[in-house]
Amino acid sequence: MRSVHKALLKCGASAVITSNPKVISDSDGLVFPGQGACDTSMRKLREKGLDESVRKYIESGKPFLGICLGLQLLLEASDEGNEKGLGVIEGRVRRLPRGVKIPHMGWNRVAFTNLHPVFRGIPDESYFYFVHSYYADPKENSVIIGKTNYGLEFCSALALKNVISVQFHPEKSGYMGLKLYSNFLGLIVSGEQVGENWI
Protein backbone atom coordinates (compact mmCIF):
# COMPACT_ATOMS: atom_id res chain seq x y z
CA MET A 1 0.00 0.00 0.00
CA ARG A 2 2.82 2.39 0.81
CA SER A 3 4.37 1.92 -2.65
CA VAL A 4 1.01 2.58 -4.30
CA HIS A 5 0.46 5.63 -2.08
CA LYS A 6 3.88 7.05 -2.93
CA ALA A 7 3.35 6.46 -6.65
CA LEU A 8 -0.01 8.26 -6.58
CA LEU A 9 1.48 11.19 -4.67
CA LYS A 10 4.30 11.40 -7.21
CA CYS A 11 1.70 11.59 -9.97
CA GLY A 12 0.02 14.53 -8.25
CA ALA A 13 -2.85 12.84 -6.42
CA SER A 14 -4.13 13.92 -3.03
CA ALA A 15 -4.10 10.31 -1.81
CA VAL A 16 -4.80 8.75 1.58
CA ILE A 17 -4.67 5.16 2.85
CA THR A 18 -7.95 4.40 4.61
CA SER A 19 -10.38 1.73 5.76
CA ASN A 20 -13.00 4.32 6.71
CA PRO A 21 -16.21 3.74 4.69
CA LYS A 22 -17.09 7.45 4.65
CA VAL A 23 -13.66 8.46 3.33
CA ILE A 24 -14.00 5.78 0.67
CA SER A 25 -17.49 6.87 -0.41
CA ASP A 26 -16.47 10.56 -0.51
CA SER A 27 -13.38 9.93 -2.66
CA ASP A 28 -13.25 11.03 -6.31
CA GLY A 29 -11.37 7.85 -7.26
CA LEU A 30 -10.53 4.61 -5.50
CA VAL A 31 -7.40 2.45 -5.86
CA PHE A 32 -7.83 -1.05 -4.41
CA PRO A 33 -4.41 -2.75 -4.12
CA GLY A 34 -3.67 -6.11 -2.57
CA GLN A 35 -1.26 -8.96 -2.03
CA GLY A 36 -1.95 -12.23 -0.27
CA ALA A 37 -4.65 -14.91 -0.31
CA CYS A 38 -8.23 -14.45 -1.51
CA ASP A 39 -9.89 -16.19 1.47
CA THR A 40 -8.01 -14.24 4.14
CA SER A 41 -8.53 -10.96 2.34
CA MET A 42 -12.25 -11.47 1.79
CA ARG A 43 -12.77 -12.42 5.44
CA LYS A 44 -10.97 -9.26 6.58
CA LEU A 45 -12.99 -7.11 4.18
CA ARG A 46 -16.25 -8.59 5.47
CA GLU A 47 -15.22 -8.22 9.12
CA LYS A 48 -14.73 -4.48 8.54
CA GLY A 49 -17.73 -4.07 6.26
CA LEU A 50 -15.42 -3.00 3.47
CA ASP A 51 -16.80 -5.50 0.98
CA GLU A 52 -20.02 -3.47 0.88
CA SER A 53 -18.07 -0.20 0.85
CA VAL A 54 -16.19 -1.31 -2.26
CA ARG A 55 -19.35 -2.56 -3.99
CA LYS A 56 -21.23 0.67 -3.23
CA TYR A 57 -18.31 2.74 -4.44
CA ILE A 58 -18.24 0.84 -7.73
CA GLU A 59 -22.02 1.22 -8.07
CA SER A 60 -21.58 4.99 -7.67
CA GLY A 61 -19.91 5.07 -11.09
CA LYS A 62 -16.76 6.84 -9.91
CA PRO A 63 -13.37 5.64 -11.23
CA PHE A 64 -12.04 2.48 -9.58
CA LEU A 65 -8.63 0.85 -10.09
CA GLY A 66 -7.86 -2.64 -8.76
CA ILE A 67 -4.25 -3.83 -8.47
CA CYS A 68 -3.11 -7.50 -8.35
CA LEU A 69 -5.24 -9.15 -5.64
CA GLY A 70 -7.47 -6.08 -5.97
CA LEU A 71 -8.29 -7.40 -9.45
CA GLN A 72 -8.82 -11.01 -8.39
CA LEU A 73 -11.19 -10.15 -5.53
CA LEU A 74 -13.57 -8.51 -8.00
CA LEU A 75 -14.49 -11.89 -9.47
CA GLU A 76 -17.05 -14.35 -8.11
CA ALA A 77 -14.80 -17.15 -6.80
CA SER A 78 -11.21 -18.41 -6.70
CA ASP A 79 -9.37 -21.72 -7.00
CA GLU A 80 -7.28 -20.43 -4.09
CA GLY A 81 -10.01 -20.97 -1.51
CA ASN A 82 -13.69 -21.23 -0.67
CA GLU A 83 -14.70 -17.66 0.11
CA LYS A 84 -16.86 -15.85 -2.43
CA GLY A 85 -15.34 -12.84 -4.13
CA LEU A 86 -16.97 -9.45 -4.51
CA GLY A 87 -18.79 -10.62 -7.63
CA VAL A 88 -18.38 -7.34 -9.49
CA ILE A 89 -17.00 -9.18 -12.53
CA GLU A 90 -18.43 -12.52 -13.65
CA GLY A 91 -15.76 -15.22 -13.67
CA ARG A 92 -13.29 -17.16 -11.58
CA VAL A 93 -9.70 -16.79 -10.40
CA ARG A 94 -7.57 -19.74 -11.51
CA ARG A 95 -4.10 -21.04 -10.64
CA LEU A 96 -1.33 -20.58 -13.17
CA PRO A 97 -0.59 -23.87 -14.98
CA ARG A 98 1.91 -26.49 -13.94
CA GLY A 99 5.22 -26.38 -15.73
CA VAL A 100 5.96 -22.72 -15.04
CA LYS A 101 7.72 -21.28 -12.02
CA ILE A 102 5.24 -20.16 -9.35
CA PRO A 103 4.82 -17.38 -8.46
CA HIS A 104 5.10 -15.53 -11.75
CA MET A 105 7.54 -12.88 -10.57
CA GLY A 106 9.28 -10.26 -12.66
CA TRP A 107 8.84 -8.27 -15.84
CA ASN A 108 6.50 -9.39 -18.60
CA ARG A 109 4.72 -7.86 -21.57
CA VAL A 110 1.12 -6.73 -21.68
CA ALA A 111 -0.58 -6.86 -25.08
CA PHE A 112 -3.46 -4.41 -25.32
CA THR A 113 -6.67 -5.91 -26.67
CA ASN A 114 -8.57 -2.62 -26.43
CA LEU A 115 -7.28 0.94 -26.59
CA HIS A 116 -8.53 1.97 -23.17
CA PRO A 117 -7.56 5.50 -22.06
CA VAL A 118 -5.72 4.10 -19.02
CA PHE A 119 -3.09 2.90 -21.54
CA ARG A 120 -2.86 6.26 -23.36
CA GLY A 121 0.76 7.05 -24.23
CA ILE A 122 1.91 3.54 -23.26
CA PRO A 123 3.17 1.41 -26.18
CA ASP A 124 1.53 -1.94 -26.83
CA GLU A 125 3.58 -4.87 -25.48
CA SER A 126 5.12 -2.70 -22.77
CA TYR A 127 6.72 -4.46 -19.80
CA PHE A 128 5.16 -4.35 -16.34
CA TYR A 129 6.13 -6.03 -13.07
CA PHE A 130 4.17 -9.10 -11.90
CA VAL A 131 4.05 -11.06 -8.63
CA HIS A 132 1.21 -13.63 -8.57
CA SER A 133 0.29 -17.32 -8.65
CA TYR A 134 -3.32 -16.94 -9.79
CA TYR A 135 -4.99 -15.07 -12.62
CA ALA A 136 -8.45 -13.70 -13.42
CA ASP A 137 -10.55 -15.64 -15.90
CA PRO A 138 -13.57 -13.41 -16.64
CA LYS A 139 -16.67 -14.97 -18.19
CA GLU A 140 -16.91 -12.27 -20.87
CA ASN A 141 -13.89 -11.65 -23.09
CA SER A 142 -15.24 -8.17 -23.83
CA VAL A 143 -14.00 -6.90 -20.44
CA ILE A 144 -10.37 -7.88 -21.16
CA ILE A 145 -8.17 -4.95 -22.22
CA GLY A 146 -4.75 -6.58 -21.71
CA LYS A 147 -3.26 -10.07 -22.00
CA THR A 148 0.06 -11.62 -20.94
CA ASN A 149 1.73 -14.95 -21.70
CA TYR A 150 3.10 -17.11 -18.90
CA GLY A 151 2.42 -20.80 -19.50
CA LEU A 152 -0.82 -19.63 -21.10
CA GLU A 153 -2.33 -16.38 -22.28
CA PHE A 154 -4.15 -14.80 -19.34
CA CYS A 155 -6.09 -11.63 -18.61
CA SER A 156 -3.67 -9.06 -17.16
CA ALA A 157 -5.99 -6.05 -17.41
CA LEU A 158 -9.74 -5.58 -17.60
CA ALA A 159 -12.28 -2.76 -17.71
CA LEU A 160 -16.04 -2.66 -17.23
CA LYS A 161 -17.79 0.71 -17.03
CA ASN A 162 -15.98 2.63 -14.25
CA VAL A 163 -13.92 -0.40 -13.12
CA ILE A 164 -10.34 -0.79 -14.33
CA SER A 165 -8.10 -3.51 -12.90
CA VAL A 166 -4.64 -4.88 -13.62
CA GLN A 167 -2.82 -8.02 -12.47
CA PHE A 168 0.61 -6.34 -12.51
CA HIS A 169 1.97 -3.72 -10.12
CA PRO A 170 2.18 -0.27 -11.76
CA GLU A 171 3.97 1.10 -8.68
CA LYS A 172 6.83 -1.35 -9.33
CA SER A 173 6.84 -0.85 -13.11
CA GLY A 174 8.92 2.28 -13.56
CA TYR A 175 7.86 5.01 -15.98
CA MET A 176 5.11 2.96 -17.67
CA GLY A 177 3.50 2.18 -14.33
CA LEU A 178 3.55 5.83 -13.29
CA LYS A 179 2.07 6.72 -16.67
CA LEU A 180 -0.80 4.31 -16.04
CA TYR A 181 -1.48 5.90 -12.64
CA SER A 182 -1.32 9.36 -14.24
CA ASN A 183 -3.82 8.28 -16.88
CA PHE A 184 -6.17 6.96 -14.19
CA LEU A 185 -5.93 10.26 -12.33
CA GLY A 186 -6.65 12.03 -15.61
CA LEU A 187 -9.89 10.07 -15.95
CA ILE A 188 -10.90 11.20 -12.47
CA VAL A 189 -10.20 14.86 -13.24
CA SER A 190 -11.74 14.91 -16.72
CA GLY A 191 -14.71 12.62 -16.13
CA GLU A 192 -13.99 11.30 -19.63
CA GLN A 193 -16.62 9.01 -21.15
CA VAL A 194 -14.91 6.18 -23.00
CA GLY A 195 -17.64 3.81 -24.17
CA GLU A 196 -20.53 1.81 -22.73
CA ASN A 197 -18.22 -0.90 -21.39
CA TRP A 198 -16.01 1.63 -19.64
CA ILE A 199 -16.39 4.78 -17.57
Residue 49 backbone zone (phi > 0: left; psi -120 to 50: alpha; other: beta): left
Mean pLDDT value across the chain: 94
Report yes or no on 161 lying in a domain: yes
Residues taking part in catalysis: 68, 169, 171
Report yes or no on 181 lying in a domain: yes
Predicted TM-score of the model (pTM) = 0.94
pLDDT of residue 194: 55
Summarised one tens digit per residue, pLDDT across range 109-152 is 999 998 899 999 999 999 999 999 999 999 999 999 999 999 99
Q: Which element (helix H / strand E) includes 22?
A: helix 21-26
Report yes or no on 124 lying in a domain: yes
Residue type, 41: S
Show the domain range for 36. Answer: 2-190
Report yes or no on 160 lying in a domain: yes
pLDDT of residue 191: 74
**Number of domains into which the chain is organized:** 1
Q: Which residues of the chain have pLDDT under 70?
A: 192-199
User: Which residues fall within 8 angstroms of residue 111, CB to CB, at 6 or more apart?
Assistant: 124, 125, 146, 147, 148
Report yes or no on 199 lying in a domain: no
Report yes or no on 51 lying in a domain: yes
Report yes or no on 196 lying in a domain: no
Report yes or no on 122 lying in a domain: yes
CATH code, domain carrying 21 = 3.40.50.880
DSSP 130-186: EEESEEEEES-GGGEEEEEESSSEEEEEEEETTEEEESSBGGGSHHHHHHHHHHHHH
